[in-house]
Chains A and B, each alone.
Chain A
Amino acid sequence: MSKITIGKAINAGMRRAMERDPKVVIMGEDIGKLGGVFRVTENLQKDFGEDRIIDTPLAESGIVGTAIGMALRGYRPIVEIQFDGFVYPAFNQIVCQVAKMRPRSLGKIKLPMVIRIPVGGGIGAVEHHSESNEAYFAHTAGLRVVACSNPEDAYWMIQQAVESDDPVIFYEPKRRYHEKGELDLAGAAAPRPLFEATIARPGEHVTLATYGPMVKVCLDAATVAAEEGKSIEVIDLRSLSPLDLDTVATSVEKTGRLVVAHEASTFLGMGAEIAASVSERCFYHLESPVIRVGGYNLPYPPSRLEEEFLPNLDRVLDGVDRALAY
């Protein structure tokens, strides 16, 4: 067992994937010599060569579009988008081409590519580097969308995403890249299936569902809540499309209350879908309406204000208290 950062865990996972399958290549800006602006691809070009770790021109639509061409030719590209806010030039290629090519071809084409996106705020950055745009892609049929929250998940999920024959948008919690966690690199434990949620912390009174960078915030909130006598069950959703509603529903049937937390704006965020689905599935179990805790409905503010914008432990616990008040 060793302690490893999320960034290094993803690096290790990609390394394993590339060792296993010579068709796996990584394409992105500054990923070669520099090792990526978050060092997630560090040393990979040194070991696998420029053929397989491809520094691309500075054009995101081009990265995704040429990756599609590579995939058509039989390769399994991992695309690195440097920051969440930079994915928008590639939005057309992702939504119109990556997502639709398989149904368009009646199943004759598959695009087994992974698009890795560092997501979320809390890094004190300038504009466009702290976005949470997972709802756009989760809403796009034809894509699969996952979000890891810890090193162990990061290590296994990136490998599973590469192995999937479907295109996967892989969100990485950028403010957690350098946070360490346990990972048994030599461990033989079978990893959790990619598209399943997990109970990160069991509880009795309230279900708190979240993903990505907010998982740690919610776990901390649960620890504080326990001191107040409130037992919170924290669910790490891990997969946003498809959504593992079974795990959420089972939990809500036990607790009767659900709070969903994410950095993305509350309005029309992932919480809206989960709230609607759970309201339908667990109607007779609900003691309170589903409470959502998310960012405000405004563009991500300047870094001096981001702590006011981001849902933090206090806002999460306020949401829990609102649910318990019913």
Chain B
Amino acid sequence: MAVRHFNLPDPGEGLVEAEIVTWKVKVGDAVKVNDIIIEIETAKSLVELPVPFAGTVTALLAAEGETVAVGTPIISVDDGLGGDVAPVAVPPTATSDDDEEIEAGKIGGAAPGGRVAVLVGYGPRVTEAKRRPRRGGAAAAAPVVQSRLSEPVAAEPVVVQPASVPPTGSGRALAKPPVRKLAKDLGVDLSQVAGSGEGGIVTRTDVQGHAAGVGAAAADGGALLAEYAAPVFAATAEREMRIPIKGVRKVTAQAMVSSAFTAPHVTEFVTVDVTRTMRLVDRLRTDREFRDVKVSPLLVVAKALVLASRRNPGINATWDEAAQEIVVKNYVNLGIAAATPRGLMVPNIKDADQMSLRQLAEAMADLVSTAREGKTQPAAMSGGSITITNVGVFGVDSGTPILNSGEAAILCFGAVRRMPWVVKGKIKARWVTQLGLSFDHRLVDGDLGSRFLADVAAILHDPSQALVWG
């Protein structure tokens, strides 16, 4: 026994109610489908309504003379079948601009389901301005909108990747147009930048990081170079310029001469696949531990050098001619050669071997900013035990560096390039760099020097080696 309800349909334009005029049936009457059961009145006309189902009238839900709102059930009919059907509220009617009252079901008039009648179909309906809820609650794949003017965030926004992101082996740098422009403006060769995006896509952050110097020296290479007072000949200048020898230039010259012509210099080279180091650098850059400190390959080189020094203490030493002693140091004061506004300086990080990677990074950043400001103190430049000089920032591969006075070794760190390399029998594009190590052959023989250099290379090749030696 299912009782069904028939709701008052919308009678016309903008009207939300109608008056019950005459019931054509009473309770207990049997009705067939489409029997006219009621007469209602709109503002303009009488309308007869046919009932959409058959059965027995169980209740008249509105009285003659009563004004009833559209959507109100007006009659219940027991259709003799199972399952009650609850009355369904009629959604608000879509109204058109016409003031004229149009009969329900005629063009421009109200149509079932809250629509407006048209000649050729159901007609338009009122829609809600609302988004459908999505699975999982979160907005699907909505990229974090990031102002390009803001500081780059450590984590790149989630990007919906296109269907085909080519393998990085395609040989072309992948970057979106604004990033390409940035690279061009900064003078960065995109093909030399490690891309941290999916599939090797080079991001804005990558370019900016690269411009700040892959394996940068303590100072911002590019920007600082510009400040260095290189001689500039004006168009109408004399054929020669005479610069007085004094200050840092004089001191540097004396130090170079003293070092070069006292210690017998030998330089060894090794070419290393540093792809894993580059990956580590990428990872660290997004690591919360290193969130607000600069991470670059130079940091890893520094750490490698420190570890290698512990393994090969003989290289972390000094030839003391006066005392006729070789002084092996139980600490690593790591010097970083820096081109500063005042000239070449080599400030060192005291007890670098006691530092965590994070602390080392902070110390290097501190050293860089101090040097950039030209405020490096003499104390910072004394007592160094071993030095790194970074020529990679200039795009140079390697060199034969001159030892810092009082030290037995200096590591030359070159540019990191994409080079073809044999990996498991196949040629692949890898990040490759050259390390050059000059050492004082009075106290460092070839085997020590080679072992030391090999150790540095080993860590750069596979940073997890640090776990074994650390």
Please say whether the chains A and B touch (CB closer than 8 A).
yes
> Is A281 located at the chain interface by the 8 A CB criterion?
yes
Q: Return the CB mask of A186-226 against B: 1 if under 8 Å, else 0.
A: 00000000000000000000000000000000000000000
Residue A280 CB within 8 A of the other chain: yes
B175 on interface, CB distance cutoff 8 Å: yes
Residue of A nearest to B181 (CB): A326
Contact pick for A280, options B162, B166, B170, B174, CB 8 Å: B162
Number of residues on chain B facing chain A (CB within 8 A): 13
- Which of B164, B176, B180 is A249 in contact with, Cβ under 8 Å? B164
In the complex, which of the residues A253, A284, A286 contacts B201, with contact meaning CB atoms closer than 8 Å? A284
Cβ proximity bits A276-306 to B, threshold 8 Å, 1 near / 0 not: 0000110111110100000000000000000
A selection of 24 A-B contacts at a CB cut-off of 8 Å is A249-B164, A253-B166, A253-B170, A253-B172, A254-B172, A256-B172, A280-B162, A281-B162, A281-B163, A281-B164, A283-B162, A283-B176, A284-B162, A284-B165, A284-B174, A284-B175, A284-B176, A284-B201, A285-B166, A285-B172, A285-B174, A286-B177, A287-B180, A289-B177
Query: For residue A253, which residues in chain B have a CB less than 8 angstroms away from its CB?
Result: 166, 170, 172
Chain B positions near chain A (C-beta within 8 angstroms): 162-166, 170, 172, 174-177, 180, 201
Q: Which residues of A contact B166 (CB under 8 A)?
A: 253, 285
The smallest beta-carbon distance between B297 and chain A, in angstroms, is 24
Chain B residues lying within 8 Å of A280, measured Cβ to Cβ, are 162
* Chain A, residue nearest B201 (CB): A284
How long is the Cα–Cα vector from A249 to B176 in the complex, in angstroms? 16
Q: Per-position contact with B for A34-57: 1 when CB-CB < 8 Å, else 0?
A: 000000000000000000000000
Query: Per DSSP, are chain B's interface residues mostly helix, strand or loop, or mixed?
Result: loop
Q: A71 to B16: give the CA distance in the assembly, Å.
A: 54
- Which residues of A sit under 8 angstroms from B172, Cβ to Cβ? 253-254, 256, 285
Contact partners of B162 in chain A: CB under 8 A: 280-281, 283-284
Q: How far is the CB of B199 from chain A (nearest CB, A)?
A: 8
A residues within 8 A CB of B164? 249, 281
Residues on the A chain within 8 Å of B201, using CB: 284
In the assembled complex, the Cα of A48 lies from the Cα of B170 at a distance in Å of 55
A254 and B171 CA atoms in complex are apart in Å by 9
* Distance in angstroms between the alpha carbons of A256 and B191 in the assembled complex: 14
Q: How close is B200's CB to chain A, nearest CB, in angstroms?
A: 9
- The total number of A-B Cβ pairs within 8 Å is 24
| Per-position 1/0 for A252-274, Cβ under 8 A of B | 01101000000000000000000
Separation of A135 and B176 alpha carbons in the complex (Å): 30
| Chain A residue at minimal CB-CB distance from B161 | A284
CB B178 to nearest CB in A, in angstroms, measures 11
CB distance from B171 to the nearest CB of A (A): 9
Classify the interface of chain A: helix, strand, loop or mixed.
Answer: helix
Q: Among A249, A284, A286, find the residue whose CB has the most chain B CB atoms closer than 10 A.
A: A284
Complex Cα gap A289–B176 (Å):
11
Residues on A with beta carbons closer than 8 Å to the beta carbon of B165: 284
Q: Lowest 4 CB-CB distances: which A-B pairs, in order?
A: A284-B174, A284-B201, A284-B176, A283-B176
A279 nearest in chain B by CB position:
B177
From B170, which residue of chain A is reached at the shortest CB distance?
A253
Please indicate the chain A residues that have their CB under 8 angstroms from the CB of B175 in the complex.
Answer: 284
The docked-state distance in angstroms from the alpha carbon of A101 to that of B201 is 46
Cα distance, A285 to B174, chains bound together (Å): 5
The distance in angstroms between the C-alpha atoms of A256 and B173, with both chains bound, is 10
In the complex, what residues of A have CB within 8 A of residue B177's CB? 286, 289
Q: How far is the CA of A126 from the CA of B180 in the complex (A)?
A: 48
CA distance A253 to B167 in the complex (A): 11
Question: In the assembly, what is the distance between CA of A197 and CA of B177, in Å?
Answer: 27
**Closest B residue, CB atoms, query A281:** B162
Chain B residues near A285 (CB-CB < 8 A): 166, 172, 174
Report the minimal beta-carbon distance from B161 to chain A, rounded to whole angstroms.
10
Q: How far is the CB of A287 from chain B (nearest CB, A)?
A: 7
Apart from A256-B172, A289-B177: 13 A-B pairs, beta carbons within 8 A: A249-B164, A253-B166, A253-B170, A253-B172, A254-B172, A280-B162, A281-B163, A281-B164, A283-B162, A283-B176, A284-B165, A284-B201, A287-B180
Q: How far is the CA of A249 from the CA of B175 in the complex (A)?
A: 16
Interchain CA distance A254-B174 in the complex, whole Å: 11
Chain B residues whose C-beta falls within 8 Å of the C-beta of A284 in the assembled complex: 162, 165, 174-176, 201
Q: Smallest CB-CB separation from B199: which chain A residue?
A: A284
Could you tell me the distance in whole angstroms from the C-beta of A325 to the nearest C-beta in chain B?
Answer: 13
The residue of chain A having its C-beta at the shortest distance from the C-beta of B195 within the complex is A284
When distances are taken between beta carbons in the complex, the residues of chain A under 8 Å from B174 are 284-285
For the complex, give the distance between the alpha carbons of A57 and B189 in Å: 67
Task: Report chain B residues within 8 Å CB of A283.
Answer: 162, 176
Assembled-state Cα–Cα distance A136/B164 (Å)? 29
Distance to closest chain A CB from B264 (angstroms): 52
Residue of A nearest to B175 (CB): A284
Please measure, in the bound complex, the distance between the C-alpha atom of A286 and the C-alpha atom of B166, giving whole angstroms: 13
- A256: B residues at CB distance < 8 A: 172
With a CB–CB cut-off of 8 A, which chain B residues contact A289? Answer: 177
Tell me the complex Cα distance, A270–B192, Å: 37
Q: Which residues of B contact A254 (CB under 8 A)?
A: 172
CB closest chain-A residue, reference B174: A284
Q: Chain A's nearest CB lies how many Å from the CB of B197? A: 8
- Docked pose: A235 CA to B176 CA in angstroms: 24
Least distance between A288 CB and chain B CB atoms (Å):
8
Bits for A18-36, please: 1 = Cβ < 8 Å to B, else 0: 0000000000000000000
Whole-angstrom CA separation of A256 from B176 in the bound complex: 11
Residue of chain A at shortest CB distance from B163? A281
Q: Which residues of B contact A287 (CB under 8 A)?
A: 180
Interfacial chain A residues near B163, Cβ < 8 Å: 281
CB distance from A219 to the nearest CB of B (A): 25
Distance to closest chain B CB from A166 (angstroms) = 25
Contacts of B180 in A (CB 8 A): 287
When chains A and B are docked, how far (Å) is the Cα of A280 from the Cα of B180?
Answer: 17
Q: For B165, B170, B172, B176, which residue has the most chain A Cβ atoms within 10 angstroms? A: B172
Rounded to whole angstroms, the CA-CA distance of A249 and B174 in the bound complex is 14
Q: How far is the CB of B359 from chain A (nearest CB, A)?
A: 37
Expressed in whole angstroms, the Cα–Cα distance for A254 and B170 within the complex equals: 8
Q: Tell me the smallest distance from the CB of A191 to a CB of chain B, in Å.
A: 27
CA distance A254 to B166 in the complex (A): 11
| Residue with the greatest number of chain A CB neighbours at <10 A, chosen from B163, B174, B201 | B174
Q: Mark A80-121, 1 if CB is under 8 A from B, else 0.
A: 000000000000000000000000000000000000000000
Q: How far is A254 from B162 in the complex, measured between Cα atoms in Å?
A: 17
Distance in Å from the Cβ of A264 to the closest Cβ of chain B?
A: 27
For the complex, give the distance between the alpha carbons of A253 and B200 in Å.
14
